[in-house]
Amino acid sequence: MQDLSIPQALVSSVAGARHVMVVTGAGMSAESGVPTFRDAQTGLWSRFRPEELATPEAFEADPDTVWAWYEWRRDLVARAEPHAGHRALAELAGLVPRLTLVTQNVDGLHERAGSRDVVEFHGNLFANRCFLAGHALRDVPRPCAKPPTCPTCGSLVRPGVVWFGEAIPESALARAAASAGDCDVFLSVGTSSLVYPAAGLAHLARDAGAVTVEINPEPTEFAGVATHALAAPAGRALPALLASVQQALASGRA
């Protein structure tokens, strides 16, 4: 495959940045074999109804079915491996003074690729908690066909993800919003930029004067207002960006 050419202006912006912010979505994990939500043929929401699986009401009505769907996703993710794009982001963090990585993904693949201090905007598939009181139960032994009960209060245990109609964890929202207002380069990777408040972070960064970048093989509306749009998969664009930034830093061209 031909190397992707990265605009020199973008390379200089990243190499000279004080604070790079990256927001990733389901497309970031697509090349690891984890399905996205909205891609027409393969997206989860073309096969399943979100209101029957990803709301508190759905869990109350049919906890076994909701739990089983998340177990299926946990299995899928446990068998997936981070790809070169995940690793490139982990490495990029070591090249710039500050990098804030916010992910809408609940699969933990960034951490497994070596990224630290990831802001999990929509929670994590494996960070279970009880439905009524929110007692944390990170390590439910798997496989686990039905939702266990909380040893502290007896309520059913649910996956620690953000469902439709629920608030983003307060600390994640605060960190992400502060970073968006402070970063000088903002990368939006593998997201349809349709779900708020995550989608609003790119606009916050742009309004605050950051250089904005979209990486997505199917450009979204944000590509039209971003400073740079790379119409390529994350697994190709991020390693190419990293290599160009490494070269620029080595040759003192930042």
Identity of the residue numbered 204: L
Instruction: Work out the number of other CB atoms within 10 angstroms of the CB of residue 167.
Output: 8
- Contact status: 211 vs ligand OAD (CB under 6 A): no
For residue 219, cis peptide bond before it (omega within 30 degrees of 0): no
Minimum CB distance to ligand OAD smaller for 31 or for 111:
31
Task: Out of 100, 188, 212, 216, point to the residue binding ligand OAD (CB under 6 A).
Answer: 216
Q: Which of 93, 195, 243, 254 binds ligand OAD (CB under 6 A)?
A: 195
| Cβ proximity to ligand OAD, 77 vs 248, nearer residue | 77
Which part of the chain contacts ligand OAD (CB under 6 A), choosing from 58-66, 67-75, 140-148, 216-224? 216-224
Nearer Cβ to ligand OAD, position 108 or 248?
Answer: 108
Kindly list the distances between the CA atom of residue 110 and the CA atoms of 25, 82, 119, in Å, as whole numbers in the listed order: 11, 7, 10
Separation between Cα atoms, residue 137 and residue 73, nearest integer Å: 18
Alpha-carbon separation of residue 103 from 2, 9, 42, 185, 192 (angstroms): 28, 25, 21, 16, 13
CA-based nearest residue to 145, from 61, 62, 68 = 68
Q: Cβ 98 to ligand OAD, closest distance in Å?
A: 24
Q: Can you tell me the distance from the alpha carbon of 146 to that of 148, in angstroms, rounded to the nearest whole number?
A: 6
- Which of 43, 114, 169, 200 is close enough to bind ligand OAD by CB under 6 A? 43
122 has catalytic annotation: yes
Rg (CA), the chain: 19
73/248 with CB nearer ligand OAD: 73
Catalytic residue, from 83, 86, 110, 122: name it.
Answer: 122
122 lies in the binding site for ligand OAD (CB under 6 A): yes
The least distance separating ligand OAD from the CB of residue 152, rounded to whole angstroms, comes to 26
Give the SS3 label for residue 127. strand
| CB of 184 or CB of 214, closer to ligand OAD | 214
Chain residues that interact with ligand OAD, rule: CB under 6 A? 25-27, 30-31, 36-39, 43, 54, 104, 122, 162, 190-192, 194-195, 215-218, 220, 233-234
